[in-house]
Amino acid sequence: MANMGEASIHICEASFPGATDLADNQECHPGKVLVVEDMALIRLTTMEMVELLGFAVEGAANATQALAQLKQDDEITVLLTDLGLPGMDGRQLTEEALRLNPALKVIIASGYSTKGDVFPSGTSYLQKPFDMQQLDRALKS
């Protein structure tokens, strides 16, 4: 088990019945993705998708857990966060995370329109719901 009671997943060649061809024969990618999502089912599903794409992955249910993990785990290179988190939202988490690690890649995911929103430079946006190909592009861009 990883910090804060969340599972850590890292099995690059894993697949499950019905997995897309996109996940087949993927190589492991350097670094680790931290998925921050307050809804457990979405967090676990997203973590599995990330893992199937060949990335090591950890999860956090809120910004406080995520910041603690970022401080303790220097292998985390990508932050994939929901925008609508309870307490500290995804935008605030992004700002704090980038203060801790300015080289961190950040992907903000949301099911709400963010037209007109301004995010820190280098931050990517992923519209929910997303599929494996969209997630793959966001992680590799």
pLDDT per 10-residue tile (average), the chain, 141 residues = 42 41 54 96 98 96 98 97 94 95 94 68 87 95 85
Task: Spell out the domains of the chain, with CATH numbers in brackets.
Answer: 3-10+26-140 (3.40.50.2300)
Question: Which residues fall within 8 angstroms of residue 135, CB to CB, at 6 or more apart?
Answer: 46, 49, 50, 53, 126
Q: Where are the beta strands (DSSP E) in the chain?
A: 32-36, 56-60, 76-82, 105-110, 124-127
Report how far apart, in Å, the C-alpha atoms of 3 and of each of 34, 90, 125, 140 are.
Answer: 12, 20, 26, 26
Given a contact cutoff of 8 angstroms between Cβ atoms, the answer to whether 136 and 22 are in contact is yes
Rounded distance between C-alpha atoms, residue 36 and residue 83, angstroms: 9
Q: What is the pLDDT of residue 72?
A: 97
Report how far apart, in Å, the C-alpha atoms of 141 and of each of 16, 53, 89, 120 are.
Answer: 25, 14, 24, 16
Given a contact cutoff of 8 angstroms between Cβ atoms, the answer to whether 90 and 114 are in contact is no
Q: What is the pLDDT of residue 115?
A: 59
Q: What is the pLDDT of residue 100?
A: 96
Q: Over the Cα atoms of the chain, what is R_g?
A: 14
Rounded distance between C-alpha atoms, residue 112 and residue 107, angstroms: 15
Q: Is the pTM of this model over 0.85?
A: no
